[in-house]
Amino acid sequence: MISPINGIRAPELAPVPGAETGSGSAFASALETAIARVEAFRADSKAATERFLAGEEQDLHRLVIAGQKAELSFELLMEVRNKVVQAYQEVMRMQV
C-alpha cells in the first residue's frame, strides 16, 4: 500500500518588484487610456460624418482622415489585445 504524502506545500510566489496590486496598476490605466482614445477617435469620425451628411462641413478629406484614424486605432487595439491573449496562453502552457 502506498501512503499519501503529507506536509508538502507549494512554494509561495514573491511579488514582482514594481508591480502594483489592486485596481491602480499601470497596465490597467494604460489600457483604459488606450480604449478611451479609440472611443474618442470613433466619436470624432461619427461626428464628422454627421456634419458632412448634414451639409455643415464641405471638407471630404477631413472626413476620410477621421474615419481612417478611428479604423487604424481600433485595429491597433485589437492587435494589442491579441498579443496579450497570446502571451497569457503561452504563460498558461508553461510548466512550473
pLDDT digits (tens, 9 = 90+) for 2-49: 666 565 554 454 555 555 555 458 888 888 999 999 999 999 999 999
Query: Residue 63's closest CA among 77, 75, 49?
Result: 49
User: What pTM was computed for the model?
Assistant: 0.66
* Alpha helices by DSSP H, the chain: 26-53, 60-93
Cell of 54: 448634414
Task: Express each pLDDT in 34-88 by its tens digit.
Answer: 999 999 999 999 999 999 999 987 789 999 999 999 999 999 999 999 999 999 9
For residue 6, give the 3-state DSSP assignment.
coil
